[in-house]
């Protein structure tokens, strides 16, 4: 996942997508995409909610709350309400070691500190920002929980997790793990994870609903303590 430089256009579209999402009940399935087209912003999205948002008020509150290079003025609202938006059952995501937040590798962090944003025609918000928990975001957080629990004596750098909350024919939850560089499958780690983790994501869902998701952008290297809590008995031989 790309680290968004605070104040950049990528940062703003992702921050706004999560802010609009926060105005919709967490019990609804929602995806909000924000596209910066230069002279105006397009707000594209789908939600199962029937409650129509008054976007001008939300944009006004956003402008007041966050320090951004220029205030948002011209927006186009293309959010679809009362939509059919099924739960996302599986995701693939890469996590990294030796950083305070496993979403970003150390090279990306160092590059972000000195690099300038490239000049793109449009800037579009990206996962997980703007995605409700049911749209893969909860699986993303659960992957972080697993990654932080990998024993320190099991040396890894980057790992690609394939997670699903559905059971397979062997009554196991779908989980596989690959080396982030060579893409080789790690059956030892996979077996250890499936032995310990029950894939009950409700405790994380309960905790994540209490926090302000904007911190994931305003302080991107911060990590939620509850994701780093250790699970007893997780050892790899």
Quick one: pLDDT at residue 117? 72
Instruction: Give the C-alpha separation, 162 to 178, whole Å.
Output: 8
Mean pLDDT computed over every residue of the chain: 93
Rg (CA), the chain: 19
Q: Which two tokens stand for residue 179?
A: 């080396």
pLDDT of residue 172 exceeding 80: no
Instruction: Give the C-alpha separation, 135 to 115, whole Å.
Output: 31
Share of the chain above pLDDT 90, in %: 82
Backbone angles phi, psi at 47, to 5 degrees: -150, 150
Instruction: Write down the pTM of the prediction.
Output: 0.94
Asked if 185 and 176 touch (Cβ cutoff 8 Å), the reply is yes
Q: Which two tokens stand for residue 18?
A: 């999560």
Summarised one tens digit per residue, pLDDT across range 124-141 is 999 999 999 999 999 999
Asked if 234 and 149 touch (Cβ cutoff 8 Å), the reply is yes
Which burial class, exposed, middle or buried, applies to 206 when counting CB atoms under 10 A from its CB (0-12, 13-18, 19+)? exposed
Q: Which two tokens stand for residue 198?
A: 């029950």
Quick one: pLDDT at residue 146? 97
Which burial class, exposed, middle or buried, applies to 139 when counting CB atoms under 10 A from its CB (0-12, 13-18, 19+)? buried
What average pLDDT does this structure show over 159-184?
Answer: 86
Quick one: pLDDT at residue 1? 87
At residue 116 the predicted structure's pLDDT band, cuts being 50, 70 and 90, is low
CA 98 to chain centre: 19
Share of the chain above pLDDT 70, in %: 97
Summarised one tens digit per residue, pLDDT across range 43-81 is 999 999 999 999 999 999 999 999 999 999 999 999 999
Quick one: pLDDT at residue 31? 98
Quick one: pLDDT at residue 171? 60
Beta bridge partners of residue 90, listed in sequence order: 164
Quick one: pLDDT at residue 110? 84
Summarised one tens digit per residue, pLDDT across range 207-218 is 999 999 999 999
For the chain, what are the domain ranges? 9-116+123-228
Location of structure tokens 């008995």: 233
Quick one: pLDDT at residue 235? 85
């Amino acid at each position: 996942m790309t680290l968004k430089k605070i104040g950049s256009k990528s940062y703003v579209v992702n921050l706004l997508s999560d802010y609009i999402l926060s105005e919709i009940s967490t019990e609804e399935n929602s995806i909000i995409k924000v596209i910066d087209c230069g002279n105006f912003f397009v707000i594209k999205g789908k939600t199962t909610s029937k409650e129509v948002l008054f976007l001008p008020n939300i944009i006004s509150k956003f402008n007041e709350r966050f320090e951004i290079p220029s205030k948002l003025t011209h927006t186009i609202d293309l959010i679809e309400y009362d939509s059919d938006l099924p739960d996302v059952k599986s995701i693939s995501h890469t996590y990294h070691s030796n950083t305070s937040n496993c979403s970003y590798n150390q090279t990306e962090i160092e590059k972000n500190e000195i690099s300038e944003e490239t000049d793109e025609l449009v800037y579009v918000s990206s996962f997980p920002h703007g995605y409700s928990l049911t749209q893969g975001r909860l699986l993303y957080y659960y992957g972080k929980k697993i990654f932080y629990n990998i024993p320190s004596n099991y040396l890894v750098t980057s790992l690609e997790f394939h997670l699903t909350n559905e059971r397979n024919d062997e009554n196991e939850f779908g989980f596989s793990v690959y080396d982030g560089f060579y893409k080789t499958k790690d059956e030892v780690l996979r077996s250890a994870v499936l032995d310990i983790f029950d894939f009950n994501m409700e405790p994380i869902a309960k905790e994540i609903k209490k926090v302000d998701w904007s911190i994931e952008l305003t302080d991107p290297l911060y990590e939620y303590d509850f994701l780093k809590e250790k699970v007893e008995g997780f050892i790899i031989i």
